[in-house]
A and B are shown apart, each in its own frame.
Chain A
């Protein structure tokens, strides 16, 4: 009985590790009134962290057509960051609603990226 529990626990750990390894971390730096990179390529389950290195307050706001994506950071003071887990769903454009000239895009890809070891 104990062996069975141990096996199940190990299997759960292994599965968790695999799932963890599959989710990638991405960073978008906000600086000089722009998002770097402007387009971030991700897969569902990945996380994106926007880091505000600029001297102004900014935010990350999904375009009106993708308001349901949950990508709405609220205002990020200089030095602050915001982490977002990409849900299953389509790609979307976003902007800083305070400085609407600043735009970016989250490109959600279904398959593995070419040359990306996952």
Chain B
């Protein structure tokens, strides 16, 4: 039962973002919306984990996710304002938001080690999927140089977060 919950949590976001990968090429306004939605999903998950996680390292990781992804969103919002681009909600950003809410609801029902493992498993899937989306869709599709530059600049953070999450995942096993 627990295993099936973990699997479904891990696959939720992957399905949402892989939809983005295979969807029609997004324009800059849609990319901005996807970026903000993706970061917001992880900020919300991090806030939940900061209060619910039992493992100290998991709580510290969650706190870092909230701080770093909030930073990315601030930069993204500042840039779209500067570029006079209005983020345009689209199927991908909507799916991300809905899946993020569903993940929060499922995690809410877990506690202790089960919560820690489910949260960290989800973080591994999330960061891997966002990296794939950055590489295959978002960075290649961005037409504005500054937007593309911001996506390139934040990419290493997703790599670091993924490796960090994998490290904690291995420790929790």
A101-B157 contact, Cβ under 8 Å, with A55-B75, A56-B68, A56-B71: no
In the assembled complex, B89 has its CB within 8 A of some CB on chain A: no
Residue pair B156, A34 in contact (C-beta under 8 Å):
yes
**B156 and A57 contacting across the interface, CB-CB below 8 Å:** no
Q: Judge whether A57 and B164 touch: CB under 8 Å.
A: no
Q: How far is the CA of A33 from the CA of B104 in the complex (A)?
A: 28
Provide the main secondary structure of the chain A interface: loop
Q: How far is the CA of A106 from the CA of B68 in the complex (A)?
A: 27
Which residues of B have CB within 8 Å of A102?
160
Q: Is the CB of B71 within 8 A of A99?
A: no
Cβ-defined partner of A33 (8 Å) among B67, B72, B156 = B156
In the assembly, what is the distance between CA of A33 and CA of B154, in Å? Answer: 9
- Nearest chain A CB to B131 CB, angstrom units: 13
Q: Which residues of A contact B159 (CB under 8 A)?
A: 33
Q: Which residues of A contact B153 (CB under 8 A)?
A: 32, 55
A18-31 interface mask toward B, CB cutoff 8 Å, 1 = contact, 0 = none? 00000000000000
Chain B residues within 8 Å of A56, by CB: 67-68, 71, 157
Residues of chain B lying within 8 A (CB to CB) of residue A34:
156
A100 touches B67 (CB 8 A): no
> Per a CB cutoff under 8 Å, which of B71, B72, B167 touches A100?
B167
Given contacts A32-B153, A55-B154, contact A101 B71 (CB under 8 A): no
Interface residues of chain A, those whose CB is within 8 Å of chain B, are: 32-34, 55-57, 98-102
Interface residues, chain B, with chain A CB atoms under 8 Å away: 64, 67-68, 71-72, 75, 153-154, 156-157, 159-160, 163-164, 167
Extra inter-chain contacts (7) besides given A34-B156, A100-B164, CB under 8 Å? A33-B159, A55-B71, A55-B154, A56-B67, A57-B67, A101-B160, A101-B167
Q: List 19 A-B contacts (CB under 8 A).
A: A32-B153, A32-B156, A33-B156, A33-B157, A33-B160, A34-B156, A55-B72, A55-B75, A55-B153, A55-B154, A56-B67, A56-B68, A56-B71, A56-B157, A98-B64, A99-B64, A101-B160, A101-B163, A102-B160
